[in-house]
Amino acid sequence: MPDKRRFLRGDQIRPDPIPKNVKIDTLVDTFFQAYNAGRIREAAHLYTKKMLQPDVTVGLSITGALTPAGLGGSCIVPLIKSGLVDWIVTTGANLYHDTHFAIGRTLHRGTPFIDDTQLHEAGVIRIYDILFDYDVLLKTDAFFRKTLSSKEFHQKRMSTAEMHYRLGKYVKEREKKLKLKYKSILSTAYDAGVPIYTSSPGDSSIGMNIAELAINETGPVIDMSADVNETAAIVLKAKRSKGKSGVFILGGGSPKNFVLQTEPQIQEVLGIDEKGHDYFLQITDARPDTGGLSGATPGEAVSWGKVDPQRLPDAVVAYVDSTIALPILTSYALQKVGKRSLKKLYHKRQEMLDLLVKEYRKVQAKKKK
């Protein structure tokens, strides 16, 4: 008969009353006791106690309309500034909508229970319960088209990281000119040297405006192969520097796959000896049983070589809306960890890529023998 004591080693469930003015660490550590609250507690501990150690390189993937809800400035910007995320993969839509605020446009709290036909007639756009003037889109389109048609982008082949870095300089100038307290993801990443990749650059209004410029043979030319190899190089460099790699996944979809596929790119495609990411933290509301990537578990990722099978205990999935979980985890991390030194990986891309190519060439040379 199994010894029951080994199953009962966890802290006792305590139904203590929540005190007035409770701090976030006390709330999470003491009162998030079970179910997905328990998974948020485990996620907070994994993130702050393991993933945010100095030797860990943290990749953040962002899916879902988080920035229209203000989570760009409230959560992602503080994480970047504090060195709590080292590289990012996001939908272009999140960068596009985040830029609304940076160029002085406004979005408003609303309701999902409204006649969309009337909104269309009034020229109002709805993202669930967020409402804003259609002119916000037009002004943001105009900003990106004007910026991306400037000389430094003209028909230049570049990764999305390079494009976003260059865009960040212009967004920062606009924020300064408008004297905004708000700082955008693009401008903050520019200052911090955090590379931002978009896994599907054509699938957003930024990509749509680049396509309009392409008709006139101007604007940048996106090099997706550079994105694939640069992101793989980030992970390989982290491992070869006797460090670890952690992924913090908000939602799922293409950005989730892109941040995770770095390991199959290293192992399966390039043939370089590697084992997978060390830490896996995901916030999702997607079910795993439908076969969709957004709900795919860390165990499934192990079968692809995306996650080191020896590190599965360091994998947490919380089935919670990101708009709820991200503010909690951000506040918790800022309170518990505060700041880490900025790795400024954007400025080390060539160095990391050189390492990747060097190891790939070694593999190819061995095959020829």
Tokens of 34: 């079970």
Mean pLDDT (whole number) for 24-35: 96
Mean pLDDT (whole number) for 302-312: 72
Mean pLDDT (whole number) for 294-305: 70
Q: Which of 103-117, 187-201, 278-292 has the lowest mean pLDDT?
A: 278-292
304 vs 326 pLDDT, higher one: 326
Q: How many domains does the chain have?
A: 1
Mean pLDDT (whole number) for 135-144: 98
Q: In what order do the strands lie in the sheet with 315-318?
A: 196-197, 87-90, 56-62, 244-250, 279-283, 315-318
Mean pLDDT (whole number) for 257-285: 94
User: Which residues on neighbouring strands pair with residue 315, listed in sequence order?
Assistant: 280
Per-residue confidence (pLDDT) for residue 295, from 0 to 100: 66
Active site residues: 306
Quick check: 189 and 172 in contact, CB under 8 A?
A: no
**Residue count of the chain:** 369
187 vs 298 pLDDT, higher one: 187
Mean pLDDT (whole number) for 99-128: 97
Q: Which of 15-24, 56-65, 149-158, 308-317 has the lowest mean pLDDT?
A: 308-317
Mean pLDDT (whole number) for 196-215: 96
Mean pLDDT (whole number) for 170-196: 96
At residue 37, φ and ψ (nearest 5 deg) are: -65, -40
Per-position b or e across 285-294, b if 16+ CB within 10 A of its CB: bbebeeeeeb
User: What is the rounded average pLDDT for all residues in the chain?
Assistant: 94
Quick check: 345 and 195 in contact, CB under 8 A?
A: yes
- pTM of the full predicted structure? 0.95
Does residue 347 register a pLDDT over 80? yes
Quick check: 89 and 161 in contact, CB under 8 A?
A: no
Q: What is the residue-wise DSSP string for 15-39?
A: -PPPPTT--HHHIIIII--SHHHHH
Q: How many helices (H) and strands (E) in the chain? A: 16, 11
Does residue 239 register a pLDDT over 90? yes
Mean pLDDT (whole number) for 302-322: 80
Report d(CA 247, CA 117) in Å as an integer.
41
Mean pLDDT (whole number) for 83-95: 98
Instruction: Assign residue 27 the CATH number of its domain.
Output: 3.40.910.10
Does residue 290 register a pLDDT over 80? no
Report d(CA 346, CA 274) in Å as an integer.
23
The share of the chain scoring above pLDDT 90, in percent, equals 86
- Residue 197's identity, in one-letter code, is Y
Per-residue confidence (pLDDT) for residue 7, from 0 to 100: 87
Q: What is the pLDDT confidence band of residue 305, given thresholds at 50, 70 and 90?
A: confident
Does residue 301 register a pLDDT over 70? no
CA neighbours closer than 13 Å in the CB half-sphere of residue 356: 25
Quick check: 335 and 25 in contact, CB under 8 A?
A: yes
Per-residue confidence (pLDDT) for residue 288, from 0 to 100: 76
Mean pLDDT (whole number) for 226-254: 96
Q: What is the pLDDT confidence band of residue 293, given thresholds at 50, 70 and 90?
A: low
| Host domain of residue 188 | 4-368
Tokens of 15: 């139904």
Q: What is the pLDDT confidence band of residue 292, given thresholds at 50, 70 and 90?
A: low
Does residue 161 register a pLDDT over 90? yes
Per-residue confidence (pLDDT) for residue 307, from 0 to 100: 74
Mean pLDDT (whole number) for 249-276: 94
Does residue 156 register a pLDDT over 70? yes
The share of the chain scoring above pLDDT 70, in percent, equals 97
Per-residue confidence (pLDDT) for residue 322, from 0 to 100: 96
